[in-house]
Amino acid sequence: MYLSPVIRTFSLLIQLVAQSGGDPRSPGIAVEARLAGRWGISVGDTIAIAAEAAGPAQQRVVEAIYRGRADPATALRGELAVRFHLADLANLLGAPDRVDRIGVAVRPGIGPDSAAARINQIGFGFRAYPSATIASESSQTFLVVSRFHQAIGFIAIVASAVFLLCIMLLKVEERRLDAAVMRMIGLARRTVFLAFLLEATLLASVGAALGAALAYLATVLTNLFYQRKFETTLVFAHLTPDIVLLAAALSLVLGIGAGALAAARLLGATPLALWRRA
Residues near another protein (CB under 8 A) are 177-178, 181-189, 191, 270-272, 275
Q: How far is the CB of 191 from another protein (least distance, A)?
A: 6
User: 198 or 221, CB closer to another protein?
Assistant: 198
Give residue 121's region: left, alpha or beta (phi > 0; psi -120 to 50): alpha
Comparing CB distances to another protein, the nearer of 53 and 185 is 185
Contact 14, 82 (CB under 8 A): yes
**Residue whose CB is less far from another protein, 102 or 272:** 272
Task: Determine the Cα–Cα distance for residues 149 and 158; give it in Å rounded to an integer.
Answer: 14
Which residues are within 8 A (CB) of 76 and not within 5 positions of it... i.e. 6 or more apart? 230
Alpha carbon 268 to its chain's center: 49
Which of 149, 265 has the CB closer to another protein? 265
In the complex, least distance from residue 192 CB atom to another protein, rounded to whole angstroms: 10
Which CB sits closer to another protein, 162 or 188?
A: 188
The nearer residue to another protein, 65 or 187, going by C-beta atoms, is: 187
Q: Which is nearer to another protein, 66 or 275 (CB)?
A: 275
108 cis-preceded (ω within 30 degrees of 0): no
Using DSSP's 3-state secondary structure scheme, residue 246 falls into helix
DSSP annotation of 23 reads -
Q: Which residues contact 273 (CB under 8 A, 6 or more apart)?
A: none
Rounded to the nearest whole angstrom, what is the least distance from the CB of residue 177 to another protein in the complex? Answer: 7
Which one-letter DSSP state was computed for residue 1?
-
CB of 215 to another protein, least distance (A): 29
| CB 83, CB 27: distance < 8 Å | no
Helix (H, G, I), strand (E, B) or coil at 119: helix
- In whole angstroms, the minimum distance from the beta carbon of 225 to another protein comes to 41
Number of Cβ atoms within 10 Å of the Cβ of 13: 13
Q: How far apart are the first and last CA of the chain?
A: 81
| Least Cβ distance, residue 265 to another protein (angstroms) | 17
CB of 255 to another protein, least distance (A): 18
CB atoms under 10 Å from CB of 252, counted, come to: 16
